[in-house]
Structure 1
């Protein structure tokens, strides 16, 4: 973090330094005596990054991750930011998977399946692809407009093979 602070002292708009400072502050927040204050300090780095680049996927992702790390339900602007980040970074399969998990909690089952389909179809995705296929199978048949929790999904147990058949 010291290097990031030195870089920011020279150029307060150094985006790379803000990203590194955010990473260091969030890592330290988990171990801090006063986690809430430590996360608030980390949020300042995220806010500075978002002011410089309001539509950059990193800032949008960091915003929602901060809420999740604190065990909070992310507010709607943070949730919208995650969806926007996924649209800006369609190559990021992990981000698409996060969106596919977020949208059903808002009752957007069809949109979640749509976000998960490219991940499921990726021939190089292996674990993410299998996870997306399982998530799609879990969501199919769930009513649109009714919030869906993934708690039962994660409690289901065995992972499925890529063809959807239970393993071992």
Structure 2
């Protein structure tokens, strides 16, 4: 048993140190699918970079926002500010864990804020059309945002 374990560790170590593909350690499916879709997703990330969007979907604090800077996401979730990492993958935004400030509000506001953050995490698709960013959750709920610069020019 020890010999098999040592042999397995040796194979993994050698494969990690070389460019040789070991068939049972590499997956050609993920390599080919990611190479064909990467430019589309990278383009979306470039289009989002440096932009901040304000929610226009009814039922949320009108200052609720989402912004993007590099690999970072940030915004206002109704009571608190949130921040974290994100990626674009498979036609959706994949968020890491959010950090939050610790302000308190009414029970209704707190529930609304948690629902908003949960919908961000559960998005199944994202579209950016001009100044409108739309996230659709797994449940089919749409969060629609407008570019904050476009919103500020509309109100003037």
Answer whether TM exceeds 0.5 for this pair. Answer: no
The TM-score normalised by the length of structure 2 is 0.25
Q: Higher helix proportion, which one? A: 1
| TM-score for both structures, normalised by structure 1 | 0.24
